[in-house]
């Protein structure tokens, strides 16, 4: 079995994905980022805080607000520094889609970039407001539309395109990279307008969720699969499509190409009638 | 991206509320012990910042570390400022080490009182196996909270698992996963995907089942896979993302599995 032939559309290929530990370079870069962030913060705040508390007892009541501000300051400074580092890394080796060896230059740079994005997104996720990370994703080249829910899910930092009015539920894994044997496969995941991914679903690299398509909870897609518009897709891997019967959309459903929907057993029908 | 908040918290171990309420003092004692060196370190490093709040420093700690560094280098102030991030990372490391030591001590003490066992136990605090299983989990809660509150995954590998008798090889990847810290055996060159969960226990009615999970060498496990107690995964097997399996299933070697419950597939 060669990996390239089985990556064709709608053929089963096991999905394995993990972020491999980075090189020592990664730790050095991340340490330097943290160091620069904290030194800058000290430099900005030193004069202010050393003067404001002296002789004014009432200012102690503002301490919670100052701490809250410091948290946001840390986030903003570290995000700016990370975006600079990311920009430099993409100049050295531009991010590419395709199939690479794990030891190749592209794959190694993918992992270094991954950990740099991870650091920034970890801080964004640790902020008191849950939607902050949506403003961090565009820095790493992924498109994030308006009116989106992606609070508690895993989304890879690169090669992700999420359009307006999408919902990505709790614990959904949206993955744009996979490990196939000794190779790394990177492909863009596209979710078009008002697509929905259920809770605990796994979206494989190269998946295209079309307008209004729904992926059921705890279901998984195949590599490079296209989910038909205005249909509910279920199964692991998702091979059953049920059209959503709303008059407004019925003209847009491609009924000829769809896989057979599940028929309800006769006993159920009798009970209902 | 970033692991879901549910994965970022404690290891996936259920603690009985009755036992948790009765032995909460144990958790508080652990927190106190493991934060003691850190608190002293913070005071030592940042004492000039507290000088106008606290009138007199403790005699033993009458000088701070930045001052000491400044004295050695004959006072350029920027060296003291530049040392702050390094000192903060050092403080975090000390917290991790001390909380791991305290947890190790308390688990050793608990194991002296009652030996950990696999099997089926009644879910009542009077059952000694169940009680001590819960106490061991309770004593790990603070350590895992400390480990998960930084983006580092190396510390979790060594201080969460390897110290407590689950040796995880350098070639094995367990980033952002949920793995029970007991009765799990993981081989070499294993890759486990994001938020995959390995439970070595299961609740069945009024009983608790605890059995060992064995994962042999060169196994690849996809994201969001759920493995239950007693599962044996043989070498060179791939389990595709999003699948799960019933307890006590045995995965054959050199095979590919997918679905819920997982079935053998031909790619």
8 Å CB contact between A145 and A162: yes
- Which residue on chain A is closest to B77 by alpha carbon? A43
- Cβ contact (<8 Å) for B2 and A21? no
pLDDT recorded at residue A59: 78
Which residues are CB-neighbours of B79 under 8 A, at least 6 positions away? B69, B70, B73
Per 3-state DSSP, what percentage of chain B is helix, strand, and coil (rounded to 5)? Answer: 45, 15, 40
For A182-211, write each residue's pLDDT tens digit: 889 999 999 999 999 998 899 999 999 998
Give the C-alpha separation, B29 to A187, whole Å.
Answer: 50
> Between the CA of residue A183 and those of A77, A100, A107, A109, A168, what are the distances in Å?
36, 5, 9, 14, 28
Reported for B65-74, long-range contacts at CB under 8 A and 24+ positions apart, including other chains, are: none
Give the C-alpha separation, B166 to B187, whole Å.
Answer: 10
Q: What percentage of residues in chain A have a pLDDT greater than 90? A: 37
- Cβ contact (<8 Å) for A118 and B151? yes
**Cis peptide bond N-terminal to A186, omega within 30:** no
pLDDT recorded at residue A271: 55
HEC letters along chain A? CCHHHHCCCCCCCCCCCCCCCCCHHHHHHHHHHHHHHHHHHHHHHHHHHHHHCCCCHHHHHHHHHHHHHHHHHHHHHHHHHHHHHHHHHHHHCCCCCEEEECCCHHHHHHHHHHHHHHHHHHHHHCCCCCCHHHHCHHHHCCEECCCCECCCCEECCCCEEECCCCEECCCCEECCEEEECCEEEECCEEECCCCEECCCCEECCCCEECCCCEECCCCECCCCCEECCCEEEECCCCCEEEECCCCCCHHHCCCCCCCCCCCCCHHHHHHHC
For A135-183, write each residue's pLDDT tens digit: 899 999 899 998 888 878 888 988 999 999 999 988 888 999 999 888 8
CA-nearest of A86, A31, A78, A24 to B82 is: A31
Give the range among A44-53, A125-134, B224-233 with minimum mean pLDDT: A44-53
pLDDT recorded at residue A92: 95
pLDDT recorded at residue B11: 61
What confidence category does residue A57 fall into, taking pLDDT thresholds of 50, 70 and 90?
confident
More confident of the two residues B219 and A8: B219
Q: CA Rg, chain A, in Å?
A: 23
Size of interface A-B (CB pairs under 8 A): 147
The two three-digit tokens of residue A269, written as one number: 């029908």
pLDDT recorded at residue B259: 85
> Between the CA of residue A237 and those of A146, A155, B240, what are the distances in Å?
29, 19, 10
More confident of the two residues A94 and A12: A94
Around Cβ A11, how many Cβ atoms within 10 Å?
Answer: 14
pLDDT recorded at residue B2: 47
The two three-digit tokens of residue B46, written as one number: 């940042």
Listed in sequence order, the DSSP H helices in chain B are 5-8, 17-22, 24-50, 65-72, 77-82, 84-113, 128-148, 154-155
The two three-digit tokens of residue A113, written as one number: 């970039």
pLDDT recorded at residue B248: 93
Q: What's the mean pLDDT in A99-112?
A: 91
- Cβ contact (<8 Å) for B2 and A121? yes
pLDDT recorded at residue B237: 93
Q: What is the mean pLDDT of chain A?
A: 84
Say yes or no: A16 contacts chain B, CB-CB below 8 A.
Answer: yes
pTM for the model stands at 0.84
8 Å CB contact between B243 and B227: no
DSSP B244: B
pLDDT recorded at residue B1: 44
Closest-CA distance of chain A to residue B201, Å: 21
pLDDT recorded at residue B152: 83
For residue B242, list chain A residues with Cβ-Cβ distance below 8 A: 15, 173, 200-202, 218-220, 236
Domain range list for chain A: 3-243
pLDDT recorded at residue B236: 92
CA-nearest of A196, A200, A128 to A168 is: A196
∠ CA A98-B265-B171 to the nearest 5 degrees? 55
CA-nearest of B59, B64, B143, B135 to B103 is: B143
User: Has residue A270 got a pLDDT over 80?
Assistant: no
CATH topology of domain A3-243: UDP N-Acetylglucosamine Acyltransferase; domain 1 (2.160.10)
- Cβ contact (<8 Å) for A125 and B2? yes
List the single residue in A15, A54, A124 with the smallest CB-CB distance to B240: A15
- Taking chain B (267 residues) in runs of 10, the rounded mean pLDDT of each run is 52 81 94 92 68 49 58 60 84 94 95 94 92 92 88 87 90 87 92 89 90 94 92 93 91 90 85
Give the C-alpha separation, A158 to B13, whole Å.
Answer: 33
Residues of B engaging A, defined by a Cβ cutoff of 8 Å: 1-6, 52, 81-82, 84-86, 88-89, 151, 153-154, 173, 175-176, 191-195, 220-224, 238-243, 256-260, 265-267
ipTM for the whole complex: 0.82
Q: What's the mean pLDDT in A202-231?
A: 90
∠ CA B39-B43-B48 to the nearest 5 degrees? 160
Give the C-alpha separation, A238 to A120, whole Å.
Answer: 33
- Which residue on chain A is closest to B237 by alpha carbon? A14
List the single residue in B52, B173, B222 with the smallest CB-CB distance to A15: B222
The SS3 call for residue B250 is strand
For residue A30, list chain B residues with Cβ-Cβ distance below 8 A: 151
Q: What's the mean pLDDT in A4-21?
A: 75
């Amino acid at each position: 079995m060669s990996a390239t032939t089985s990556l064709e559309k709608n053929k089963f290929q096991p999905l394995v994905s993990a972020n491999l530990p980075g090189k020592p370079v990664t730790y050095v870069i991340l340490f330097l980022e943290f160091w620069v962030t904290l030194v800058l913060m000290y430099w900005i705040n030193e004069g202010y805080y050393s003067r404001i508390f002296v002789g004014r007892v009432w200012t102690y009541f503002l301490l919670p607000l100052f701490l809250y501000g410091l948290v946001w300051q840390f986030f903003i400074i570290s995000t700016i520094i990370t975006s600079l580092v990311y920009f430099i890394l993409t100049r050295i080796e531009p991010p590419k889609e395709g199939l690479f060896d794990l030891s190749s230059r592209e794959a190694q740079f993918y992992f270094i970039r991954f950990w740099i994005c991870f650091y920034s997104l970890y801080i964004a996720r640790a902020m008191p407001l849950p939607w902050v990370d949506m403003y961090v994703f565009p820095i790493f080249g992924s498109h994030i539309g308006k009116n989106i829910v992606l609070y508690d899910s895993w989304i890879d930092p690169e090669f992700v395109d999420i359009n307006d009015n999408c919902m990505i539920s709790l614990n959904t894994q949206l993955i744009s990279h996979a490990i196939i044997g000794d190779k790394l496969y990177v492909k863009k995941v596209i979710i078009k307008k008002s697509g929905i991914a259920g809770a605990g679903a796994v979206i494989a690299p190269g998946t295209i969720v079309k307008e209004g398509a729904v992926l059921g909870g705890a279901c998984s897609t195949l590599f490079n699969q296209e989910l038909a518009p205005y249909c509910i897709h279920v199964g692991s891997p998702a091979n059953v499509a049920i059209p959503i019967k709303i008059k407004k959309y019925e003209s847009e459903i491609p009924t000829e190409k769809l896989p057979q929907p599940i028929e309800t057993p006769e006993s159920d029908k009798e009970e209902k009638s | 991206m970033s692991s879901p908040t549910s994965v970022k918290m404690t290891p996936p171990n259920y603690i009985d509320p009755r036992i948790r309420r009765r032995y909460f003092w144990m958790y508080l004692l652990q927190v106190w012990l493991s934060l003691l060196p850190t608190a002293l370190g913070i005071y030592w490093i940042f004492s000039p910042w507290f000088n106008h709040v606290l009138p007199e420093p403790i005699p033993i700690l009458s000088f701070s570390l930045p001052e000491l560094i400044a004295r050695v280098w004959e006072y350029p102030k920027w060296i003291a400022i530049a040392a702050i991030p390094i000192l903060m990372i050092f403080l975090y490391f000390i917290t991790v080490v001390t909380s791991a030591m305290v947890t190790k001590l308390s688990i050793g003490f608990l194991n002296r009182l009652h030996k950990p066992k696999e099997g089926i136990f009644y879910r009542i605090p009077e059952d000694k196996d169940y009680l001590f299983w819960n106490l061991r989990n309770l004593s790990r809660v603070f350590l895992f909270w400390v480990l998960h509150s930084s983006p580092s995954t190396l510390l979790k590998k060594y201080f969460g698992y390897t110290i407590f008798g689950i040796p995880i090889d350098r070639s094995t990847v367990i980033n952002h996963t949920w793995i029970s810290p007991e009765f799990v055996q993981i081989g070499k060159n294993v890759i486990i995907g994001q938020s995959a969960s390995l439970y070595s226990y299961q609740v069945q009615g009024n009983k608790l089942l605890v059995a060992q999970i064995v994962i042999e060498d060169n196994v690849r496990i996809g994201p969001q896979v759920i493995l239950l107690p007693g599962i044996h995964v043989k070498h060179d097997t791939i389990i595709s993302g999003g699948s799960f399996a019933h307890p006590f299933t045995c995965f054959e070697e050199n095979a590919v599995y997918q679905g819920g419950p997982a079935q053998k597939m031909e790619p």
